[in-house]
Structure formats: C-alpha cells, structure tokens
Structure 1
C-alpha cells in the first residue's frame, strides 16, 4: 500500500532552558492510504500534539514528517497551506463553525476561501449533505443544531474538498454517547465510501476500535501499534 504520511524520529519539546518538557520522544510510524488509524492515550501523552505535527499546524523539535513523500518542514508556508487546503481535512473537538453562516455555507467555506467557484460544488454538497444526514438542515445556522449535528457539519466541511487525509482531534469529546457513536459510524462510512485516510485522536478505547489500526501512546512514546479487526 502507498504511504500517505511518514513520521520519522519525531521529538517535540515545549519550554526552554531548565523548563523543558518532552512531549514526544522518537516517534516513528507510517500511515498507508485508506487506513483508519486511531491514536489513543491518556490526557497529556502527546497524541494531539502528534496530530497537529502531522497536519503541519506545528513544527517538531527534531525528526521529520512526510506527506505524500514531501518533507513538510522543507516547504514554504504557502506550500504547506496548499497541502492543508487540498490534501487534509481537519475536524476538531469544538466544531469551529462560523456561527452566522448556514450549514451549507459552513461546508463550502474551504471552497470559497481557496478562490474556487462554489457553484461547481453544488452536486458534491448535495451528496455530502445526504451522507451526513443534514439535507433538511442546510439553511440552519449552527445555534439551531445539536452538538452532534454541528460535528457532522464540521465533518462535511472536511470532506467537501475531497482530501486524501482527515485528521480528527477528539471529534466526539463534547458529545453524548449516542451522538458519539453516530459520528464514529459516519467516519467509518466515509473511510469505506471515499477511501479517505482517517487519523483520529481519542482517549476512549471503545471509539478507537472503529478504525482498522490502533497506536497507543504513553508519556510520549508508542507502547502499542496493532491492526484492529472490524
């Protein structure tokens, strides 16, 4: 299988002088195209930091990360931004929706921000709204939606650009158990339907098993890396 992300000997420290905290210590692994990888561990183990490094939202102290064979540390800011817009979809714990925009306007935001013609994506928008179950809510603003519905909008926004990778940071951390299960089923469906590589960070063992691979972190190191049978 083709590698879409390569993490090589990544270390990440915060602070300086005598107040350095080592968050990640010599992390190495590859992510193959089409995998649904869960990165699990307790709070403070470095899993969200690792996700941000893979998305180019932060830089490692040492080591390197390759996205589709490109070392992102050697790229200019505009090149990293282009990769983030075209190859990576982000889903965060707190949804990050624009509250005065409708559901469909929020979903299409990455398209309009990249200067593309929104009209070209109307068919894709209808398809995604159907998949996330929000076709009848397309004109609603976020404040009129439940937490689970808002997260589905965030997932649809991540998918609209047809990325090869979705990075999800505790995507169900603010949801009740039933809504969380629906979101995880949605991720599994998107992974199977579109073949999009999904990397989620979670502290919940049961939700980590929705993927087909599990990496467990503890105190900044990998303590387990295994295939998950679905």
Structure 2
C-alpha cells in the first residue's frame, strides 16, 4: 500500500523522481490534465477540490509541492497553511488569473512560491515546479540560499556579498533570488519580467534593473551577474 494513499502511483521516475504533489482545484479538466502530465513526468499526484480537503491531506501526509488554483474561493487563506507546522509547509505553485497577480506579489518575494497564469502551458508548469523543488532542496541542505560568497536571508529579505550588506529594493531582491536559484542558467527577459513584476514591462526597464543590481552585487569582488547577448542574464562565475 502507498505511504501516501490518496496519491496515484506512477512508474516513471524521470523529472519528478517520485516526489509528492498535491493538486488543488475544482475544475475537473484542469485537475485531470495536471494529474496525468505530472504523473507521466515522474511525480506522485494527489488531488483536493476544496481548501478544507487540501489541508486535511497535508496534515495526514506532507507533500513536496502544492499546485493551487487561486481562482477558487478561500484559497488566499489556505495559502498561509493554517494549522500546518512551518516545517511541513511545502512550496506553492499558483495557477492565477492575470488580474490577480498584484495580490500575489508579496508572497512571491521568496523562492517558496511561484505562479503561472491561466490558461497555462503544461511545459511551464513542469519547469516552475522543478525550480521550486530544486530551490527547496538547496535550502534544506544549506539552511539559506547562497552562491559562492553571495548569501540571501529570506526572513529579512536582505542580501550579503562577503561581509558587505547589499541595499536592495524589493524588485532587485526578487531578481537576485531568481538568478541565484537558477545559477549557471540563462534567464530570458520574459522570464525575469514575469517573475519580478508579473506584468508587461519594456525591455529597457529590465536592463535598468539588471544594471542597478549588477552595480550593487559586483561592486567589490569578481563579477557574478552576466549578460548573454540576445538571450538574457545569468548568475555564476
């Protein structure tokens, strides 16, 4: 019998590697699409159609990730995980309507949550899920997100480079964290735009933001933030 009995066991261990995902939604077609595709990608999937049911599932057995349809009633309160110990609170991937992104912004400053807009592409759901799980794994090993001598403190939303504290705006912090948890990977302007602002911004706004962040991060010491011309930006050596 499964250790997580309400999950559907899948044989493919590829991308998901057997990790548990709870899909919370009340639209049968959306839930079936996510259950099937994430199962094929190697995740073990479970479902809940209400906030109360989802919380009961998580109390019974913690999940590694929750995919949460924010268009359902009561989801904002559920996203704070009432009654659930902090150690058992999984990362959240929101399925959000475009007009609800502003209300999500505060919860997206750390790497414990991300979103895709509806209607979504399943490839983007899988990519965002993988990033959230990779970030959580890195934090579990180190206790704090870091790269070389660059360290972030999500509790205070502060960053340090060596002994130097970086004076960052909220947008700069979100960008730096996004670059850090995707270290050695090139992020396009579209990926940065959606993660930092959740809305359309001109390319020059992104360029200015990256430029300000680079001056603060790379003021002393070897540069960490780089441009891949025509592709985007990446953090690494």
TM over 0.5: no
Say which structure, 1 or 2, has more relative contact order (CA 8 Å, 6+ apart). Answer: 1
